[in-house]
Amino acid sequence: MGLLIRGGEVVTSDARYRAEIYVEDQTITRIGADLSVPPGTEIIDATGKWIFPGFIDPHVHIYLPFMATFAKDTHETASVAALLGGTTTFIEMCCPSRTEDAFAGYNLWKEKADGRSACDYAFHMTVSRFDQNTETQLREIVRDGTTSFKIFLSYKNFFGVDDSEMFQALTLAKELGVIVAAHCENAELISRLQQALLAEGKTGPEWHEPSRPESVEAEGTARFASFLENTGASGYVVHLSCAPALKAAIEAKSRGVRLSIECVLPHLLLDKTAAERAGLEGMQHVMSPPLRDKRNQAALWSAVAAGLIDTVATDHCPFDNEQKLLGRDAFTLIPNGIPGIEDRVSLMYTHGVNRGRMDLHRFVDALSTRPAKLFGLFPRKGTIAAGSDADLVLFDPTYRGTISARTHHINNDYSGFEGFAVEGRPAVVTVRGKVQVRDGSFVGEKGRGQLLRRAPMC
């Protein structure tokens, strides 16, 4: 049975128009006025709604063994929360540690997600060490359709790679046409600064930011860019958080380095005073790179608006209150992460579009189209066009609500954005033509999501 969506206003990264959309099976087949459709077609009235392409969150953690514990969500809980928030595809960091085998890790992550996600998904494959064996396995993983890598310049001895391994990973990525995402902070400096602060008895969450200051991230960003420049590889800085790192990244872009930039919801909307709150509340707001001095936000917002920052993701990473308290005696033991997979679209619409910080097309571009293009999903995802997957978000701009852990759907007992107002929410969300969310409630099929296999693209 077909599906007809009528009465709404379509908004993509470069166009805005009133039209009807007809979906057959999983695909958009026709867009136009007064479409004639066969009897029995399901009709959804989108009057008063924006119709956006399904949103793509290019940076989330769902299954994650990290800092002596595991992130709280399952693929089932995170994908339902994602859909309620208008995200129809996420790209999860597949993160085996340095001591684990890359291929075993890849298969483990695939197994965890298989049949359990309500929305579509893909992986970035973390390269946490580089040897002969890793290289053979990475080639196999790319052949399997996972065509983006992730490296950590931080998290020494756990996920982190040294410069020699970074060079080898980038060289292989260049040969295979794979983009490399990087967490850019200087591992050695962080480790030294952490030790010095702890030795002075500075153990609370308010010392997390000073242990990895802005210059530490700017150095990592500039070094990554220099390695891209000298290997010819294509790269993507994840969760860029501050003006000095932004300056380093933009300088690299302007001299022709193949570098794209991501920022994440927490750095746009929260600042370091949240992590300076006493006790547990401070710990809830520990992530890396850390929440920064508020003055950085204006630089990030204007770069997002201008498209110099390419994408806005979440770095969704839920650890609950009990887990955060593992770090009660030392900020270095607080599991890093702030959840957000459910909140990105409504918060960016409210605090970006409605506050005049970005226009509607850039909003769609940063949250859907650009991630699709960078990571080999376009035009299957990231736009509304005949032939594209029917991943659609009918967004109600008149909705008013407040974010709270009492009402959210992620599997976590606090929200990083508790009390934030939202103006608008997804009312209806489809995944490849199937209605998964209606009237803001999940009504769909839990295992509908598919692993998206991608071709090399750089």
**Six token digits for residue 111:** 């197994």
Shortest reach from residue 286's CB to Zn ion, in Å = 13
**Six token digits for residue 452:** 């998206």
Cβ contact 264:315 at 8 Å: yes
How far apart CA 425 and CA 225 sit, in angstroms, is: 37
Residue 166 or 429 with smaller CB distance to Zn ion: 166
Residue 310 or 389 with smaller CB distance to Zn ion: 310
Segment interacting with Zn ion (CB under 5 A) among 9-17, 195-203, 308-316, 325-333: 308-316
Shortest reach from residue 52's CB to Zn ion, in Å = 25
- The answer to whether 315 contacts Zn ion (rule: CB under 5 A) is yes
Shortest reach from residue 315's CB to Zn ion, in Å = 4
Q: Could you tell me which of 283, 292, 241 has the C-alpha nearest to residue 264?
A: 241
Residue 315 or 342 with smaller CB distance to Zn ion: 315
Residue 56 or 437 with smaller CB distance to Zn ion: 56
Segment interacting with Zn ion (CB under 5 A) among 28-36, 101-109, 117-125, 314-322: 314-322
- The answer to whether 310 contacts Zn ion (rule: CB under 5 A) is no
Residue 57 or 315 with smaller CB distance to Zn ion: 315
Segment interacting with Zn ion (CB under 5 A) among 37-45, 63-71, 311-319, 347-355: 311-319
Residue 150 or 362 with smaller CB distance to Zn ion: 150
Shortest reach from residue 64's CB to Zn ion, in Å = 9
State whether residue 433 is helix, strand or coil: coil
How far apart CA 202 and CA 313 sit, in angstroms, is: 32
Segment interacting with Zn ion (CB under 5 A) among 107-115, 203-211, 315-323, 436-444: 315-323
Report the b/e string of 242-268 with b at 16+ CB within 10 A. bbbbbebbbebbeeebbbbbbbbbbbb
- The answer to whether 120 contacts Zn ion (rule: CB under 5 A) is no
Shortest reach from residue 342's CB to Zn ion, in Å = 17
Cβ contact 128:96 at 8 Å: yes
Shortest reach from residue 293's CB to Zn ion, in Å = 21
Residue 214 or 315 with smaller CB distance to Zn ion: 315
- The answer to whether 73 contacts Zn ion (rule: CB under 5 A) is no
Segment interacting with Zn ion (CB under 5 A) among 210-218, 226-234, 255-263, 307-315: 307-315
How far apart CA 347 and CA 172 sit, in angstroms, is: 38
- The answer to whether 92 contacts Zn ion (rule: CB under 5 A) is no
Q: Could you tell me which of 307, 291, 318 has the C-alpha nearest to residue 367?
A: 307
φ, ψ (nearest 5 deg) of residue 57: -100, 105
Cβ contact 173:134 at 8 Å: no
What DSSP state is assigned to residue 350? Answer: I
- The answer to whether 185 contacts Zn ion (rule: CB under 5 A) is no
Segment interacting with Zn ion (CB under 5 A) among 42-50, 107-115, 313-321, 375-383: 313-321
CB atoms within 10 A of CB 46: 24
**Six token digits for residue 191:** 């480790």
Sheet holding 235-237, edge to edge: 55-60, 87-94, 120-126, 148-152, 179-183, 235-237, 259-264, 311-313
How far apart CA 316 and CA 313 sit, in angstroms, is: 8
Shortest reach from residue 359's CB to Zn ion, in Å = 28
How far apart CA 75 and CA 447 sit, in angstroms, is: 9
What DSSP state is assigned to residue 40? Answer: T
Shortest reach from residue 92's CB to Zn ion, in Å = 10
Segment interacting with Zn ion (CB under 5 A) among 208-216, 297-305, 312-320, 414-422: 312-320
- The answer to whether 217 contacts Zn ion (rule: CB under 5 A) is no
Tell me the residue nearest to Zn ion as measured from the CB.
315
φ, ψ (nearest 5 deg) of residue 18: -85, 130
Tell me the number of residues near Zn ion by CB under 5 A: 1
Residue 73 or 315 with smaller CB distance to Zn ion: 315
The residues that bridge with 90 in the sheet, in sequence order, are 57, 121
Residue 310 or 315 with smaller CB distance to Zn ion: 315
Angle in degrees, CA 109, 113, 115, rounded to 5 = 145
Shortest reach from residue 189's CB to Zn ion, in Å = 20
- The answer to whether 57 contacts Zn ion (rule: CB under 5 A) is no
- The answer to whether 342 contacts Zn ion (rule: CB under 5 A) is no
What DSSP state is assigned to residue 316? Answer: B
Which residues in this chain contact Zn ion in the complex, by CB under 5 A? 315
